[in-house]
């Protein structure tokens, strides 16, 4: 099955201008209407300016708006993948296990622990070239969000939807994330494999250190990133459109604190490294530099290596729209009226 992509997806951000342009046109049209009503009687204005045609002006605007959209799609260069090949690369397999429990909503790291972590992962994916990446989401249990892949665009797309709603069970089961990570790597034992865990470290569910020792026996290196502050922060929740803070059974506000000790232990058992995140840096770049020094192994990947350009389709539509725009005048066409193509009501 062919895959579809844009060669320059960043250009699609220009589509955000479309609703702005529509709003500007609506406001301008309303201002013109008010000005004509203030100027005089509508029937009198109709006789004084018989060629004035609001419907033609509206038609031209929407034709130009469609032309603007087609121009953006043309520049973004839509493409269809046309040939699958097995490509041999040398790199490292990296799986990121991201904590999406409610405690990651705390705002001691701005804008929140979770959003800041997602931003850092997205920036890391932008730097990847030969390595393969996977994404695990965990809270009270762990789930595979993205299997190990070199499709970086899909990785970023699935990352954007990561949040507490993506898991059905709350909590922080770091051991489950490690266990799933061990089973998610390519089975070959000679590959360099790294598991990066991003969490506030408050493990309440399982024996994470024991799972880390199992990972070490399999040659998997675990890096841990502690995100949050040791002093802690309340956990904001959206309840009926207003912000409230998570409380325990006694009604006390829950304070989520960073547990660095357990994260340091998990990393040291496997020969990895612990990094504490802050508002300036999450620490992913430091860890990725370490991963870059790991032994590269040959990775076979099946991917599209040839793409058929499809930009001619929106480009052709753009040309047609511009021609139509030239043929439609802002005002009624006197020549067409004389030919009897357009009829006008006789003045009373």
CA 184 to chain centre: 23
> Which residue in the block uniquely carries the two structure tokens 């990094």?
275
- R_g over Cα of the chain: 29
| Backbone phi and psi for residue 242, each to the nearest 5 degrees, phi listed first | -125, 155
Assess whether pLDDT exceeds 70 at residue 122. Answer: yes
Give residue 172's pLDDT: 82
Assess whether pLDDT exceeds 60 at residue 318. Answer: yes
From residue 251, alpha-carbon distances to 61, 121, 248, 254 in Å are 58, 35, 5, 9
Confidence class for position 348, pLDDT limits 50, 70, 90? very low
Beta strands in 69-178 (DSSP E): 78-91, 93-99, 132-138, 142-149
CATH class of segment(s) 88-302: alpha beta
Domain spans of the chain, in order of start: 4-77+310-338, 88-302
Beta-ladder partners of 89 = 299
- For the chain, helix, strand, coil in percent to 5 are 45, 25, 30
Listed range (2-6, 274-278, 308-312) with the worst mean pLDDT: 2-6
b/e code 9-31 from CB counts within 10 Å (16+ = b) = eebeeeeeeeeeeeeebeeeeee
What is the spatial distance between Cα 72 and Cα 70, in angstroms, rounded to a whole number?
5
Mean pLDDT, range 316-335, rounded to an integer: 77
Assess whether pLDDT exceeds 90 at residue 156. Answer: no
295 versus 115: the higher-pLDDT residue is 115
């Amino acid at each position: 099955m062919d895959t579809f992509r844009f060669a320059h997806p960043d250009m699609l951000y220009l589509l955000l201008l479309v609703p702005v342009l529509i709003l500007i046109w609506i406001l301008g049209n309303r201002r013109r209407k008010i000005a004509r009503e203030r100027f005089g009687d509508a029937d009198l204005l109709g006789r004084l300016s018989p060629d004035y045609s609001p419907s033609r002006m509206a038609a031209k605007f929407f034709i130009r708006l469609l032309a603007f959209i087609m121009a953006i799609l043309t520049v973004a260069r839509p493409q269809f993948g046309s040939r699958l090949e097995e490509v041999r690369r040398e790199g490292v397999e990296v799986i990121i296990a991201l904590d999406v429990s409610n405690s990651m909503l705390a705002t001691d790291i701005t804008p929140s622990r979770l959003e800041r972590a997602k931003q850092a992962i997205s920036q890391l994916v932008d730097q990847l070239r030969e390595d393969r990446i996977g994404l695990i989401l965990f809270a009270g249990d762990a789930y595979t969000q993205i299997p190990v892949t070199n499709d970086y665009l899909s990785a970023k797309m699935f990352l954007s939807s990561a949040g507490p709603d993506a898991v059905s069970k709350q909590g922080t089961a770091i051991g489950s994330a490690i266990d799933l990570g061990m089973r998610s790597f390519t089975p070959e034992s000679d590959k360099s494999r790294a598991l990066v865990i991003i969490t506030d470290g408050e493990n309440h569910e399982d024996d994470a250190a024991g799972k880390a020792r199992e990972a070490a026996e399999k040659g998997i290196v675990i890096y841990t990133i502690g995100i949050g502050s040791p002093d802690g922060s309340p956990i904001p929740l959206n309840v009926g459109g207003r912000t409230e803070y998570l409380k325990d059974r006694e009604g006390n506000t829950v304070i989520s604190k960073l547990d660095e000790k357990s994260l340091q232990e998990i990393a040291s058992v496997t020969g990895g490294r612990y990094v504490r995140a802050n508002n300036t840096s999450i620490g992913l770049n430091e860890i990725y530099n370490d991963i870059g020094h790991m032994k590269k192994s040959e990775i076979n990947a099946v991917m599209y290596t040839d793409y058929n350009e499809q930009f001619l389709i929106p480009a052709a539509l753009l040309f047609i729209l511009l021609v139509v725009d030239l043929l439609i005048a802002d005002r009624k066409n006197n020549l067409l009226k004389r030919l009897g193509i357009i009829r006008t009501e006789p003045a009373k």
